[in-house]
Chain A
């Protein structure tokens, strides 16, 4: 912009004074304009990201670091400062039986919610992936529970899972089954709480998986169908393997969320302490109790860090698994372009092989012949 603006005067001056001060000045002005736009180019990216990073530093990063500091302290609420006591808070938390109960409960609820949820989500996604009528209607219907607050979900379900007059127990009684003590039995309470999580998140994950399913080239199914693979066989040999990267993404995110579970167990009864015998006490619920029930911030901070490390450890395990799987499937972009292409080729080959292994012996000869011809050198590796 500035360069074009300053150009005319320089050309106008040139005939008058070929080598005078004005001609020296004009390049300088060009350079200034240049420099301005150079600075614009160089600085503005930082300007754009700075609001995010400044806010994030204050409300995101600083608290994380400061939690670490506090966790090594005995925090005095009145003076609002702490005295350094080393690892004592960690030792204290880790030697509490309640911590281990909370850890067990958290994992139990997490497994009870994530595994059935994933299976159900894959199944529903496969239904939605069919050529159904009113697609948007069904998709929206599946997502409906997502808009209800976890607190609200918990209130409804804790009512339905009532020990004495709950809908579930009444139904069980009608069926001649003895009632389950959903609130006093630990495992039963985990099932009830996991049901709340499943209710709210299954539809959400269904849609993620549905999107992944729709990205699978229909040719694979076509090839499998021609080879005589049944619908079920197509599902296990094509759909599920292609979904693996997405599945792992869903698993990672639901791990991060699931291990932090608070709302549902907090609202499962009116006391919010995780049950009389800590039947459904989770780590975050325990953290709340230490921090804002017992007002011991040092311990709460230590527990927060322990929780973070647990999540981190599981995240890393997940990541290692993901890496391996991604290399198998070649679907995510952490790999280089060429590696990606090679992986994609390998995946396609695998899929084809997987699909054709469900073959009823005689695939049409000309169909498979050229492909297997190109494949064999690679396949033998």
Chain B
């Protein structure tokens, strides 16, 4: 069209006939054109760096005490992994099985509790109007910056007063709620549930709690699942407080690993076999839920 037009107009219109072409280019840029070898090479290196320590611990963990000192160490795993794993599991000083159970039990309970309380509080902050809600939410967010170290001394005194030091409850109770969880659920529910839906439920005569159950909970499910995952992983990996408060006879896995290190620092093949053993449960979790973890991090800036 612009081709037929007189010159002055042509200047203005010039963009138009190009538009479909540009649209094509754009689409190609967004979906079609594949990046070159450089991108893939870098990614392969990154992936290699991410996997290598796992492989290294298997390499050492499947050898024996002398493997690490062998200057011509083979890059092919030896055959001692099961043997080393057995000595980790059977060492009475390390308490591997109780540690595994404690980790599963405490992390699971913590994740469930954090999800429940955070969803409830997040719903109130996101969708219900009440006096002081803003101020309270700011307060919750502010507490996220408070380091764990600030509370450990009185918590320890409190728990030793109650005679709870050494019991697994001492690591569960302080972790039952999380400011981050409340913040996360608030953020999510704010945009996930339209206010009209709540009003509709109310007009239909649903009580506030019923509205939460029928509107809030279903909507919260994806975010709650992610929160549960992240809470589980960070509870599982937590070391500082369990290390302080738990008895060596009834540890969680990270605490057991620290015992393993002090018992076997002369034979690292056993230490690294134990490291791998203690990581297997989370690797299994990662296989099934890694996708959710990825999208959880990308959905909101999570830091656990």
Q: What residues make up the interface of A, taking CB atoms closer than 8 Å to B?
A: 1, 4, 37, 40-42, 44-46, 48-49, 51-53, 55-56, 59-64, 66-67, 70, 80, 123-124, 127-128, 130-133, 136, 138-153, 155-157, 159-160, 162, 165, 167, 170, 199, 203-204, 207-208, 210-211, 214, 218, 221-222, 225-226, 246, 249-250, 253-254, 256-257, 259-260, 262-263, 266-267, 270, 272, 284, 287-288, 291-292, 297, 300-301, 304-305, 307-308, 311-312, 315, 364-367
Q: Would A159 and B268 count as touching, CB distance under 8 A?
A: yes
Note all chain A residues with C-beta closer than 8 A to B206: 1
Give the one of A149, A288, A304, A364 with max B CB within 10 A. Answer: A149
A218-B120 in contact (CB<8A)? no
Q: Are A246 and B30 in contact (CB under 8 A)?
A: no
**A165 to B146, Cβ gap below 8 A?**
no
**B155 contacts partner chain A, Cβ-Cβ < 8 Å:** yes
Shortest CB distance B224–A (Å): 15
Asked if residues A49 and B136 are in contact (CB atoms below 8 Å), the reply is: yes
Contacts of A67 in B (CB 8 A): 150-151, 153-154
In the assembled complex, B87 has its CB within 8 A of some CB on chain A: no
> What is the interface of chain B, defined by CB distance below 8 A to chain A?
11-15, 22, 26, 29-35, 39-40, 42-43, 46-47, 49-51, 53-54, 56-57, 60, 68-69, 71, 73, 117-118, 120-121, 123-125, 128-130, 133, 136, 140, 143, 145-158, 160-161, 173-174, 176-177, 179, 182, 205-209, 212, 233, 236-237, 239-240, 243-244, 253-254, 257-258, 261-262, 265, 268, 271-272, 275, 278-279, 282-283, 285-286, 290-291, 293-294, 297-299, 301-303
Q: How far is the CA of A371 from the CA of B47 in the complex (A)?
A: 43
Report whether B239 and A147 are in contact in the complex, using a CB–CB cutoff of 8 Å.
no
Are the CB atoms of A45 and B47 closer together than 8 Å?
no
- Complex Cα distance, B57 from A199, in Å, reads 15
Identify A66's interface contact among B154, B177, B205, CB under 8 A: B154
The answer to whether A156 and B275 touch across the interface, beta carbons within 8 angstroms, is yes
Determine whether the beta carbon of B177 is less than 8 Å from that of A44. no
On whether the beta carbons of A153 and B128 are closer than 8 Å, the reply is no
**B176 near A131 (CB under 8 angstroms)?**
no
CB–CB A218/B26 < 8 A: yes
A146 to chain B, nearest CB (A): 7
Q: Which of A146, A301, A312 gathers most chain B CB within 10 Å?
A: A146
Find out whether the CB atom of B283 lies under 8 angstroms from the CB atom of A155. Answer: no
Q: How far is the CA of A53 from the CA of B182 in the complex (A)?
A: 11
Using A63-B155, A159-B272, A246-B301 as known contacts, say yes or no to A151 and B34 having CB atoms under 8 A apart.
Answer: no
